[in-house]
């Protein structure tokens, strides 16, 4: 099974990731990893850090002649901004000059709870590791699993349906046509927009909203739509809570910094309707076997994949570092004071969509490996082909 770990601080020398359990024989290029890292840095409303960094990964192990070799893959992303933080983030010798301690927590951030939990007298260490800068390492690690899935006909993509009050209308024929091509077609179309939206009218509203928030020293959140295509029915299981695919997918999404809600399909809309208007009916035909005309369940039934497109929605809160401060206090003097500002973005929702795609890839890859097993790509592909053939033959007369 695939698992990954990340390490590194936002303003430390580098971020790193180790991916363990990747099958052998998966063709992968450094260009694909770096392309996903570049996608993560895009989007209207990003802050000054993106003007400093130009994320490029280095592969230190696990790949030979352009293919995975079954051993752990280690990845390194250097922080260019480190040269400006060698004193504040010195790793061993405490600098002779005094480093200003951060004692004012930001509402909505990890600052206060992290300081209490780890008994720091300075909030800086909390800021460094809790920062969404860490997601660069997760995108690099997730891309490895994503390439593995793509080789098996499984794709992941996303677009942004809302930023602030600017919201896309309900999905239309354009989205359906893109999904028919595969989930990556959705992502490619979304990437043409500076806010990763599919509709030009909503894009214009979102751009104006981000600019207005920036002028006020405020921030904006939004909603991310994520799709996974090519997943056959029966991935995951209902027999134990820790094998439920819907739970694993939701956990991966909610683990992303600033994500506060996850929805599968049209779950919240479904909650207000009777069952007769919610559940996706089966249709049988000699040509297509089992099919459905709706996908309100979001491609997941009984905690398993249903064979339809998996659809998740993620709600991202506005970033908690505001140029116009909220009320806070000094943890040393216990006196009320405005919260401090840490360099940040006005809106990072488009980037969060790219992160969401990446973190879902290992979850789907593990569900596939749990079902099929296998240590190298050819073996796994043969087993998946047999499974898909079994499904076709079972429901076609």
- C-alpha span between 256 and 258 (Å, rounded): 6
What is residue 60's predicted lDDT score, i.e. its pLDDT? 98
| Predicted TM-score of the model (pTM) | 0.94
CB half-sphere exposure, 259, CA atoms < 13 A: 27
- Under the banding of pLDDT at 50, 70 and 90, the label for residue 33 is very high
Task: Indicate the average pLDDT of the chain.
Answer: 94
Q: CATH code at 255?
A: 3.60.150.10
Structure tokens at 277: 């208007």
Q: Is the pLDDT of residue 286 over 90?
A: no
171: left (phi over 0), alpha (psi -120 to 50) or beta: beta
Confidence of residue 28 (pLDDT cuts 50, 70, 90): very high
Q: Which domain holds residue 180?
A: 3-394
Please give the Cα distance from 122 to 104 (Å, whole number). Answer: 9
**Model confidence pLDDT, tens digit, residues 203-229:** 999 999 999 999 999 999 999 999 999
pLDDT of residue 332: 95
Asked whether residue 96 carries a pLDDT value surpassing 70, the answer given is yes
55-74 tens-digit pLDDT: 999 999 999 999 999 999 99
The string of pLDDT tens digits covering residues 228-256 is: 999 999 999 999 999 999 999 999 999 99
In whole angstroms, give the CA distance from residue 383 to residue 373.
8
Report the number of distinct structural domains present in the chain: 1
| Alpha-carbon distance values, 86 to 11, 77, 202, 218 (Å) | 9, 17, 43, 30
pLDDT digits (tens, 9 = 90+) for 116-170: 999 999 999 999 999 999 999 999 999 999 999 999 999 999 999 999 999 988 7
Place of tokens 């076609």: 396
Contact yes or no for 131/202 (Cβ under 8 A):
no
Percentage of the chain surpassing pLDDT 70?
98
pLDDT of residue 223: 98
């Amino acid at each position: 099974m695939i698992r990954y770990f990340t390490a590194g601080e936002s303003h430390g020398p580098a971020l790193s990731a180790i991916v363990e359990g990747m099958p052998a024989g998966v063709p992968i290029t450094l260009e694909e990893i770096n392309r996903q890292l570049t996608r993560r840095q895009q989007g209207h409303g990003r802050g000054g850090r993106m003007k400093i960094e130009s994320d490029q990964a280095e592969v230190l192990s696990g790949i030979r002649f352009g293919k995975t070799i079954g051993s752990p893959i280690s990845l390194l992303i250097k922080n260019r901004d480190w040269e400006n933080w060698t004193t504040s983030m010195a790793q061993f010798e405490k600098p002779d000059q005094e480093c200003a301690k951060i004692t004012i927590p930001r509402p909505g951030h990890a600052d206060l709870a992290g300081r209490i939990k780890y008994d720091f007298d300075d909030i800086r260490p909390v800021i460094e590791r809790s920062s969404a800068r860490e997601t660069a390492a997760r995108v690099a690690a997730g891309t490895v699993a994503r390439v593995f899935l793509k080789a098996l006909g499984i794709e992941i993509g996303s677009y942004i349906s809302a930023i602030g009050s600017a919201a896309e209308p309900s999905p239309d024929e354009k989205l359906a046509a893109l999904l028919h091509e595969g989930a990556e077609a959705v992502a490619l179309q979304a990437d043409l927009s500076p806010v990763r939206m599919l509709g030009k009218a909503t894009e214009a509203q979102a751009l104006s909203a981000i600019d207005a928030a920036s002028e006020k020293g405020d921030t904006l959140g939004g909603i991310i739509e994520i799709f996974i295509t090519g997943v056959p029915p029966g991935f995951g299981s209902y027999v134990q809570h820790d094998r439920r695919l819907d739970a694993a997918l939701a956990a991966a999404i909610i683990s992303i910094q600033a994500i506060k809600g996850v929805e599968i399909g049209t779950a919240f809309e479904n909650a207000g309707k009777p069952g007769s208007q919610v559940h996706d009916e089966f249709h049988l035909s000699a040509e297509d076997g089992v099919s459905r005309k709706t996908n309100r369940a979001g491609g997941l039934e009984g905690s398993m994949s249903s064979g339809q497109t998996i659809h998740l929605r993620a709600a991202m809160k506005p970033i908690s570092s505001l140029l116009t401060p909220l009320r806070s206090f000094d943890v040393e003097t216990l006196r009320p004071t405005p919260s401090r500002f840490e360099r940040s973005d006005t809106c990072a929702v488009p980037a969060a969509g790219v992160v969401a795609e990446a973190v879902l890839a290992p979850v789907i890859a593990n569900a596939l490996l749990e079902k099929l097993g296998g240590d190298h790509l050819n073996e796994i592909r043969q087993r998946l082909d047999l499974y898909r053939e079994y499904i076709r033959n079972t429901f076609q007369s």
